[in-house]
Structure 1
Amino acid sequence: MKSLAYVCAAVAVGLSGAPAQAHRTNCGPQRPAIERVLADYRSAIERLDAQGTERLFAADSAVFENGGVEGTYANYLAHHLGPELGHFRSFRFADHRLDLWCDGPVAVATETYTYRIERTEGAPIERRGVTTSVLRRTGRNWQIVNMHGSSRAPRPAS
């Protein structure tokens, strides 16, 4: 599976010490294109309309969420995300922060945020979340090949 190979390569680059660090960059002129992919995905979620988001993901992508293996993005969209969005009145991200680095045609993004979901039935859901995405550049385009997200209830203020 290609996406697993990219994840392993990204982890190896990140853990291999000082020599690999010399290749890590803040993505230079590629940064806006990578940020756009991630922003387009968040925007679709907030619109409660994932139509067209398939273009943001590689066909051999892998999605993991809260300890679950969701398969490719196409599978995740068809069997999890798509149906789930139909049960929401609104979904809003806040306090978004992005850490992004690149090594050649691979980018690793870590996003932290809070979100609030207003459901069609039941109480609202508020969470703190983190998503790590591995993207690869093919030609002029960047696509997500691996996405892993998790969330938890916010801790009470002390």
Structure 2
Amino acid sequence: MDHSSHANHQMHAMDASADDVAGAEETLKAYRTALEARDAQAMRALFAEDSAIFENGKAEGSFANYMEHHLGPELDAIVSFTFTDPTLTVTRMGHMAHAYETYGYRIELSDGRVIERDGVATSVLAHDADGWRIVQYHSSSRAPRN
């Protein structure tokens, strides 16, 4: 019995899975890039409408709420936002994926203050006909330890 077509199907499925993980990775990298660019519109496009955001021990609600009441006002005061040494690990589970990240960041504010932090984030993403969207994002940070 010839099983070559079955093996080919399995290889195609693995390729699709790798592509799907790459798509989830690209969504999270795009969020980081949009933060650095302070591009609120690009950030909004990456999150599901019914997303949930958690930051440093606070439930922020949906990304739209987070943008309106927390991140959006902060963006106006930021002159420069740079991530350093990012790591990203994504695991796909069907039409969902979960991820964790580590990174450093440096923020320069319009009043001259500089904020440097080490951060971590976990996220859950969902895949649909429109691609990958972040449905839950939890980040926290602390002062760097030398």
Q: Shared topology, TM-score over 0.5?
A: yes
Deviation at 1:140, TM superposition (A): 4.9
What's the Cα RMSD here? Answer: 1.1
Give the gaps of 5 or more residues in structure 1: 1-26
Residue ranges of structure 2 left out of the alignment (5+ in a row) = 1-16
1:39 alignment partner in structure 2: 29
Equivalence map 1:44-55=2 (5 Å): 44-55=34-45
Contact 2:35 2:43 in 1 (8 A): no
Which of 98, 117, 123 aligns to 1:127? It is 117
Q: Secondary structure at the match of 2:30?
A: helix
Q: Which residue matches 1:17?
A: none
- Structure of higher CA gyration radius: 2
Contact kept? 2:49, 2:62, Cα under 8 Å: yes
Higher strand proportion: 2
TM-score by length of 1: 0.79
Which whole-Å CA distance do the structure 2 matches of 1:89 and 1:55 have between them?
Answer: 23
2:132 — aligned with what?
142
- Residue 122 of structure 1: CA displacement? 4.2
How many aligned positions are there? Answer: 130
Paired position in structure 1 for 2:88 = 98
Identity of aligned residues (%): 51
1:112 corresponds to 2:74: no
Tell me how far apart the structure 2 counterparts of residues 129 and 147 of structure 1 sit (CA, whole Å): 13
Moved over 4 A (4+): none
The separation in 2 between residues aligned to 1:41 and 1:75, in whole angstroms, is: 17
Report the 3-state secondary structure (helix = DSSP H, G, I; strand = E; otherwise coil) of the residue aligned with 1:51.
helix
Instruction: Give, in whole Å, the separation in 1 of the partners of 2:64 and 2:126.
Output: 17
Give how far 1:50 is off.
1.4
